[in-house]
């Protein structure tokens, strides 16, 4: 009897943070809106969507140039981060099933984190959530040249993990994040953000689409890797 199809080799799993593990897109928007109005800028609802997925360098420049804040980007970024950190210390907005999913996948594979959040935010979240020992590497998009949807942050996460991108699987929720992981060559599991659903065309680039973090398990990860490498394997719609 010929052997069955070989399972794809998965060496590491890389999580997004905002919108996937944290219900934080709204928190970020609230902090940016609060600061913009405090400093006499021009906040718009279009700005909220325009800044999704941007690195801190990118959104702080946007707030200066497009929202009329009379400050340098570094000052804007620091002020918004301070507001958000205060909010997180008062209560971390973990999404349902986030802690269980992180621990379940960490028991099987090394974990990375590839986030558009600032370094201070990443470190605070891991500390408050009790995840510092679970993530082998964490990368902020402010530490690479380009933010999502460019592939830089996922390529850097794979490099730090010591794994080829094609042997890693990303878990994402957004248009920019799914596009970033796909461009970097990672397999992808998408858990769409309900408040900011990803573009259907980009969603098709994910190897698997789940309804919630509760569904994220070994089969989902290996299924996404199999689809990315053109191998038959378990998958979910």
pLDDT tens digits, residue range 150-186? 999 999 999 999 999 999 999 999 999 999 999 999 9
Among 49-58, 59-68, 112-121, 125-134, where is mean pLDDT lowest?
A: 49-58
Report the length, in residues, of the chain: 237
Summarize pLDDT for 74-87 with one digit per residue, the tens: 999 999 999 999 99
pLDDT value, residue 234: 37
12-23+93-228: which CATH topology? Rossmann fold (3.40.50)
CB neighbour list of residue 180: distance below 8 Å, 6 or more residues apart: 53, 114, 148, 149, 150, 151, 152, 153, 154, 170, 172
Global pTM? 0.85
Average pLDDT value over all residues in the chain: 92
User: How many angstroms separate the Cα of 148 from the Cα of each of 51, 114, 178?
Assistant: 11, 10, 9
Give the residue from 86, 39, 83, 87 showing the smallest Cα distance to 63: 39
192: enclosing H helix or E strand: none
- CATH architecture of the region 25-90: Orthogonal Bundle (1.10)
Best CA proximity match to 64, nearest among 77, 81, 48: 77
The full set of domain ranges for the chain reads: 12-23+93-228, 25-90
């Amino acid at each position: 009897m010929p052997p069955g199809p070989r399972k794809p080799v998965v060496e590491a799993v890389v999580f997004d943070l905002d919108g996937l593990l944290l219900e934080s897109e709204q928190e970020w928007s609230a902090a940016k809106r609060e600061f913009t109005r405090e400093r006499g800028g021009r906040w718009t609802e279009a700005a909220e969507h325009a800044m999704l997925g941007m690195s801190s360098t990118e959104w702080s420049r946007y707030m200066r140039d497009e929202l009329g804040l009379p400050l340098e980007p570094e000052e804007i970024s620091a002020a918004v981060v301070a507001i958000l950190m205060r909010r997180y210390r008062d209560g971390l907005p973990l999404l349902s099933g986030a802690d269980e999913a992180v621990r379940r996948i960490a028991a099987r594979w090394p974990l990375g984190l590839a986030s558009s959040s600032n370094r201070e935010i990443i470190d605070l979240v891991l500390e408050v959530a009790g995840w510092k020992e679970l993530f082998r590497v964490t990368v902020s998009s402010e530490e690479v040249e380009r933010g999502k949807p460019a592939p830089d942050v996922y390529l850097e996460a794979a490099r730090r993990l010591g794994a080829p991108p094609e042997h890693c699987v990303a878990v994402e929720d957004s248009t920019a994040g799914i596009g970033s992981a796909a461009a970097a060559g990672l397999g992808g599991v998408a858990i769409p953000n309900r408040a900011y659903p990803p573009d259907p065309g980009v969603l098709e680039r994910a190897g698997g689409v789940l309804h919630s973090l509760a569904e994220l398990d070994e089969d989902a990860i290996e299924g996404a890797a199999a689809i990315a490498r053109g191998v038959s394997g378990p998958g979910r719609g």
